[in-house]
Amino acid sequence: MSVSSDSARDLLVDLVSIPSPSGEERAAAERLVEFFEAHDREVRIDDVGNVRAPADDRVLLTSHIDTVPGEIPVRTENEVLWGRGSVDATGPLCAMAVAAVSSGASFVGVVGEETDSRGAWHLIEDREEPDAVINGEPSGWDGITLGYRGMLAGTYVATSESGHTSRPEPNAIQHAIGWWSRVEERFAPDEDEEWEPVFERVTTKPVSVEGGTDPDGLSVSATLDGQFRVPPSLTIEEVREMAEHELYSSSNRSSGRGPRDGELGPDTDAAGTVNWGRPIPPVMESPRTDLARAFRVAIRGEGGDPRLLRKTGTSDMNVYASAWDCPMVTYGPGDSDLDHAPDERLDLAEYDRSIAVLREVAKRL
């Protein structure tokens, strides 16, 4: 069934106008359901809040419904739509929905991508593998994203006895700072490696730090949340082992109390522990699949010069690739430099072109 340009743009404006930060996607999900029902498609909202419109599984079109917080007044000026989510990823989401209706392909709008990817994790556990996946994130209408780094998040926790601040022994706060300093040094590029692209490196980022004397006045505690972005050249397990190795101070290692050769043993002595979250492995897809070739042909057909991209962040494609062994790409309209930005905006002509590309790709598959 064809979808008019006016209907496609109305869907986009409506969904950008509906606030949908992670955990509050229901109203936007219901608008998506209305769109599919209006075009005579089977559709439902599943147990976690995903919008699922099953159909031809030769290709699954999917993107995320949620956005990051932040209110940007919705307006259209000179064929440009301003508003939170217009780029990340309501624009790609709507393009996927329109193309799914036009082509008869399967569609899923998932929840929680900006936080824990709970919608994507639920999906891989609750349905069979499709023949191909097109994940919706901004790549520019002429760009095809084939790779993402993985992510490992951990929370460091340490506790020490309280004492006068003049005492030389480190407290829990110093232990937390020391661990993170050693982690950053461990993963810092050597001088001869600084030319290496960010995509090929592990990068570290502290997200939050809390610490101080506990209410009982008898102890000091510290908590540090950190993230590691992992390139395809390494596994999540390798990065986790290296980070855990740095739990042991250099003095402990040199005195023999810490791990040797990167291995942790029962007699080691660490000041704190790390509780790891669910890991998201890196992904790097081949540009030689039928899916990638179909995108290159479709983009050229619209007058573009296809660009093959690798992203330094992480997306739901990482989750799908961890469970499904089928060709995938990530694609969608919008400038990814505007992700989460206060001036987030989408060129409507680019949105129209991305729909045309998706329709052609689905036709070829």
Element (H, E) at 118: helix 118-126
Give the residue numbers annotated as catalytic, written as ranges.
66, 113
Burial 339-360 (b: 16+ CB within 10 A, else e): beeeebbbbbebbbbbbbbbbb
Q: Sign of torsion, CA 255 256 260 262?
A: negative
**How many whole angstroms separate alpha carbon 317 and alpha carbon 183?**
27
How many CB atoms sit inside 10 A of residue 1's CB? 9
Residue 357, CA distances (Å) to 97, 98, 145, 364 in order? 13, 12, 14, 11
Judge contact between 157 and 223, C-beta under 8 A.
Answer: yes
Within 8 A by CB and 6+ apart from 188, the residues are none
Helix, strand and coil content of the chain, in percent to the nearest 5, comes to 35, 25, 40
> 16 — phi, psi (to 5°)?
-65, -30
